Amino acid sequence: MAWWQTFLKYKEDHPEVFKGLKSLKLFRREFGGISGSYVDMLEFDSMADLDRVTTLMQQDEQFSKIGHAFELLYDPAAYSCEIWSTVV
């Protein structure tokens, strides 16, 4: 959870980077999948907003350190990235 707190502090200190991010939530799995693992959900209005935010994060030296720290924490075999669209 320390990494998540670092990320949230970065987000708070760099609002210009996250312009276009509608919501951000972290969930802990209780049943199904890998129980006890975490799932984060980011909501954007458009793919262009997602692209803008990820590009700005990748270009930021401070975020590069945060991203590297994340890479040391997650299990590559269990990591996935998905893009969903609203149906109803």
pLDDT of residue 4: 87
pLDDT of residue 15: 93
pLDDT of residue 56: 93
Nearest CA-CA partner of 39 in 80, 6, 70, 85: 80
Q: How far apart are CA 87 and CA 80, in angstroms?
A: 21
Instruction: Give yes or no for a contact between 74 and 4, defined as CB atoms under 8 angstroms apart.
Output: no
Could you state, in chain order, the average pLDDT of each consecutive group of 10 residues for the chain (88 residues)?
87 93 90 83 92 92 87 81 85
Q: How far apart are CA 80 and CA 34, in angstroms?
A: 12
The structure tokens listed for 63 are 């975020």
The structure tokens listed for 78 are 């269990």
